[in-house]
Amino acid sequence: MQIKKEIKLVLTVEETNQILEALGNQPFKQVFALISKIQEQAASQLNTAAQEE
């Protein structure tokens, strides 16, 4: 069993949207899980930031 390593990236909203746009040009079945993961994490962080303001 291989252990999956995680990395953390710090990106602006604009940079994240660029990545999502580029992924959107790829075959859906290859990128849908990654797009979902990015969107979930971004939404969580943006909601937390909005609550702190």
pLDDT at 34: 97
C-beta separation of 39 from 17 below 8 A: no
C-beta separation of 22 from 31 below 8 A: no
pLDDT at 29: 97
Q: 23 CB contacts (<8 Å, ≥6 apart)?
A: 31, 34, 35, 38
pLDDT at 53: 77
pLDDT at 50: 80
pLDDT at 37: 96
Which among 46, 41, 51 has a CA at the least distance from the CA of 20?
41
Indicate the pTM of the whole model.
0.79
Q: How far apart are CA 37 and CA 32, in angstroms?
A: 9
> What stretches in the chain show pLDDT beneath 70?
none
